[in-house]
Structure 1
């Protein structure tokens, strides 16, 4: 057993910074709104400061009572405010050791360390860089030693003294993807930074709206009513550029010096300006991969490439430094040229074939993509026009037209492709197209659905579920031929590698009624 160690005292500063960021906006809002709230705002301000003090006091006590150590094949952290609890991970199951450094960490030459395993993770905030590097190297060393011991190898163990927090090694790690400032700006143009800026703008107005005098709003309305159309147009362009600038700045801060490194069977993402982050992904644990390409990206010859993983823990944990969303998606290549993607995929996820999908929806199915939403829009717009607003039918007509266009696009682009161990789904969205690649051994269940109306038309739906995040993702091919449903179902059940897909004996295939009620093994 190694001696128990405590977190670096700088933890008190980093914790105070995190708490202050959480409390600063309510305190400012109540402080400036006290006059409008008849003095009650002052009470709320004092209350917010008091709560901040009590919460931070609890953080101080928790810091004093937190220790960590290594015991055999276990890395243990003991912590607790009143009752101390032990949390441990098996060293041999560690997938990655990642780091994150915000402004305070970098100022004091400290880092936040996150130790991840398939089931759970441990976060240490904060350690000095020297201690963090020493701990990371020690854990990597012990992991390789234990694994060699378990295999009872007679050869001399090749222990790697890593030079970083992740699995990167000199001479082995290679950088496969980087983003320059120009690339980040391109990504913002194609990916909607204006919308992000608009969200920030609206949020700021909601927070500080009480601080803006009513007379200023009156002057703005007067200005708009008395200004020429050309001036309003120029003003709109100025607002558009401002929002683009805000979105670009936020994106540059987040994605500064973005790069993806490959080390043996691991991927490492590093990025950040104010807060530098590193995240390591085990290639063997990638559940699915997919591309998303909107209309602007398609015209410019670019796309976005993502991977799906299972969460280590509840990703809503504020201490989690992972870039995975709540659904388990990691955007690995935010913007990459379509012509270069095939080469990058072969380096990053060599276990995936990634064959292009072929459209398969028959002509008689295209109306099924639009009939239900079209009926909803027409009924809703007529009802609102009759009861509330006479011109609501105009909005209904526009949305109905968009529904028809989207339905036709879904009919033209929905498709799939089968290979020996992988299936490709192509699923059109409203402004983009999503292409999903799933390996058969990573599919949790596959279901064929068929209503009486679809059965009469010899059509069906195929629903595939695979692990993603802390639950699962579901992808569905809609209104395809009944024969395609049987083909996909037989492919999923097939274990013989030599079988020719879609050419089997039809009499030996399960019926569509049997498939419609199937929930295949996990």
Structure 2
């Protein structure tokens, strides 16, 4: 017997909740939809308020009236949308009817479902509800559809029917991860087997070494670049005079302050996003839960994982840490490049052992075969071209523009490091790619999950006998492609013979086949 906010849930073993009749979501879905629409209207409200507060604009009363009409209309639309949205769950299928004027019917069969997210955003948690997002193969960048306000037991029954169908022996409402239990119910005494938790130490280290500080700094710089148009002329003149008269030390301190604030923002956002992160493996399924404020839970079946990607950014690689992502046919989130993060922070040396539990088909320790020596020039020339062009222009137009020529040295080193990091390995059933832009990345791809293999060759590569390798797997509707540039002709032949096998017998070279060893 499980408890929910101190109240015992009924034992539903053998007695599933009747859901074969058309029904609506919880009425709280009206408020959820209203607040979501309100968030999108904030920019419009700001524009109306600024226009209405100008001397030649509308009076404040009229401005408030327009806002009130918009809010009332949004609330009415949310209520009508809730009333017109109906769903029912039959054997291995979820059916939905929706639409204000044009009535649409949607049918989601179990064999199309790739993953199911059960989230507990803040508004839903006030009512003890959850949000269910269902992703299907080729469903695009967004979930197939979302049920925004459901009781936990109904969400679990939908998940059970669409993931297990007739194979399940029983449906028990409330089988959610401990991360979701903390948000919606009292803790469960039993310990789930094969559980990996991020922990506070790794969470803090992941936040400190996150690569998102560059994005945050860019956002802060963009905000600062728009600041002058909001300042009065007299204040802008004072600010420009200070910048001109100040020494480079003060300007440098200002830049460091911006970067420090961006770093702090990145740390806080990472802690909020991955707080209480937990992965549980049970009966061939992965249950991933995360989030301090908005609780999220994702269920992925192991046999639907199409690829595994290991990422080490420039801060984590010297410390021996990495992040592990999985690629599935349902795709992932935009902020994770449409992948699903499996391990946000772990020791690189522990990855094979952890994958043996979480994704045993990908538990390998590959030994990568380097690219040919003729590829080193291509890797080094590419980062030098934009630096050379920028330095030439800066030297002509700026007094100290010649200092940019110094960047040629780190650019050349980066190109050489990219060459040394790149590699390829083959086993009987898997191909392993490794490359670097700034972060070092590895991809493990099983042959049955590869949708296409292609080699391209530009004129410069043709002279050196080099090729660029492209391999695609099914994730979103467009798929995901992994590329390795400047491979040799021998490596091209090995990959093509390995992929174009007959009767299930690969013809990969013995040398490359030995470069990938399965973890015992």
Give TM class, smaller chain. 0.7 to 0.9
SS at match of 2:431: strand
Tell me, what secondary structure is at the counterpart of 2:333? coil
Alpha-carbon offset, residue 422 of structure 1? 0.5
TM-fit CA distance, 1:45: 7.6
Q: Which residue of 2 aligns with 1:368?
A: 378
Tell me the equivalent position of 2:120. Answer: 101
The CA distance in 1 between the partners of 2:503 and 2:294, in whole Å, is 50
Tell me how far apart the structure 2 counterparts of residues 177 and 377 of structure 1 sit (CA, whole Å).
Answer: 44
Call closer, same or farther: CA 1:193–1:33 in 2, change over 3 Å: farther
Deviation of 1:203 after TM superposition, in Å, equals 6.0
Partner of 1:334 in structure 2?
A: 344
Structure 1 equivalent of residue 493 of structure 2: 486
Q: Secondary structure at the match of 2:479?
A: strand
Q: How many angstroms does 1:35 deviate by?
A: 4.8
**Could you say what secondary structure the match of 2:469 adopts?**
strand
How well do the aligned residues superpose, as a CA RMSD in angstroms?
3.6
Structure 2 contact 455–470 (Cα < 8 Å) conserved: yes
Compare 444-453 and 96-105 and name the one that shifted more. Answer: 444-453
- Give the Å deviation of 1:211: 5.5
Which residue of structure 2 lines up, in the alignment, with residue 125 of structure 1? 148
Contact kept, 8 Å, 2:138 with 2:475, in 1: the verdict is: no
Map of 1:265 onto structure 2: 284
Shift of 1:265: 1.6
Post-superposition offset of 1:261 = 1.6
User: Which stretch shows the higher mean deviation, 443-452 or 477-486?
Assistant: 443-452
> Residue 507 of structure 1 aligns with which residue?
none
CA contact (8 A) 1:31 1:41 kept: no
Q: Distance in 2 between matches of 1:303 and 1:358?
A: 18
1:186 corresponding residue in structure 2: 205
Question: Secondary structure in 2 aligned to 1:295?
Answer: coil
Query: What corresponds to 1:316 in structure 2?
Result: none
Task: Please state if 1:438 is matched with 2:461.
Answer: no
SS in 2 for 1:347: helix
Deviations 1:57-114 (A, max 9, x none): 3222111222222345432221111122222222565555432222211122222223
Change (3 A) 1:498 1:60: closer
Cα separation, 2, equivalents of 1:80 and 1:279 = 28
* SS of residue paired to 1:355: strand
Q: Distance in 2 between matches of 1:28 and 1:369?
A: 48
CA contact (8 A) 2:138 2:474 kept: no
CA distance in structure 2 between the partners assigned to 1:143 and 1:333 by the alignment: 23
Structure number with higher relative contact order (C-alpha < 8 Å, ≥ 6 residues apart): 2
More moved, 241-250 vs 228-237: 228-237
1:106-505 equivalent positions in 2, closer than 5 A = 106-118=125-137, 121-127=144-150, 129=151, 132-134=152-154, 136-137=156-157, 140=160, 144=164, 147-148=166-167, 158-164=169-175, 173-174=192-193, 176-202=195-221, 212-224=231-243, 236-311=255-330, 323=333, 328-371=338-381, 374-375=384-385, 377-379=387-389, 381-382=391-392, 392=401, 394-395=403-404, 397-429=405-437, 431-450=438-457, 454-495=461-502, 501-502=508-509
Unaligned runs of 5+ in 2: 1-18, 181-187, 512-520
Please tell me whether the aligned partners of residues 138 and 329 of structure 2 are also in contact (alpha carbons under 8 angstroms): no
Mapped contact 1:32–1:211 kept (Cα < 8 A): no
Contact in 2 for aligned 1:166/1:280 (Cα 8 Å): no
Rounded Cα–Cα distance in structure 1 between residues aligned with 2:40 and 2:216: 21
Counting matched residue pairs gives 480
- The match for 1:13 is 31
